[in-house]
Structure 1
């Protein structure tokens, strides 16, 4: 199996890294299940344990895997709620920080949208699944989201109703369609003259727009999302260590 890569002149550990990543993707690996041991991988791919260890360490550096002392190595689940809290801090009536609840308002199948299809790197004529979602704290909408998904990756969503969705979307993507979101790129803008029906804002209130391209383990886009929130609620926080 590893010998198939000889013609690419790829380092041995990179070959092993690619095979482990492919295994995780194709087998829809459960993030609560530890990976085989380094010795198991060494036997499987007929390489040294040192080569496997280097491949695993690289996947840990890439944020694909995480090691737990005494428990093993696991598929890492990104914490996208932490990403949200970089931009907005939400408190309840007792001044405690809270994670907003997600509620699906609309899901429908739509025709291709040129700019969205290009962003998702799919055929220009491929249909899309379109979702409108809000994030709520104490019965108040604080974020409004528009989400576009490639139809071919989310066939199981066709026919679902808003009530069928769970609070957290990314675990639901994985459970229902086998789409594991491994990373994302976010771009932030301040915008004006945008009225959002869920935020109930006025034309004179500035909004923050966060565009996110979510990717799978192979680096392919699996979701494009636009999130809108009131600029007056915006704050940026970044920890530098």
Structure 2
């Protein structure tokens, strides 16, 4: 299972070199290792970012994904192409997983929900990149970490079978996108519950950032057919677990 990568859309604009080194060269090294020391199944992380600004929803694995809008997305699409090639040339069973906005305890501090919590406890306002347009707010298919792990574990033991190139791609998302502002209000409520007092972020609304996409929405039909599972943790439950962990881990009041 290869989850190693330089993640994040916005940082790929600021520092593209680390994405090429980690996501292209690094993944090439993984493929070469699998070629020279054969494995039963290589499972690797792709991203919902490969869908770019696709307006057809929900996103399906058969959709056209040749118009990425960030270098990060380009590197993840490249990973899928590289894995397909190595599967074809060297008969390496491989599966790429397109993750949709993964969140939860011990997550990435650069993710929005984690950054919002940090800023609140530092007495700083949060910046929301949706133009303050609540009617046409950004949508995200937020996927709780435990659902991601369950999907990975089930797929690890199910390598591609049959004739042809042994390479599959699956969406792992919640199949239930939420407006960004709904997610933020739910996080405020979760932190309020964890602290026993009302939490309300000081909000600053700004335009969308370059590389951001208006919506992500996963079709999970193929994943269900393959392993009988679909992510379904609601954000109320997932964000409460994050808030409880955050308050305990950082010992904030």
TM-score scaled by structure 2?
0.24
- Between the two structures, name the one with larger relative contact order (CA 8 Å, sep ≥ 6): 2
Which protein shows a greater Rg? 1
Q: Looking at secondary structure, tell me which structure has more strand per residue.
A: 1
TM (norm. structure 1) is 0.25
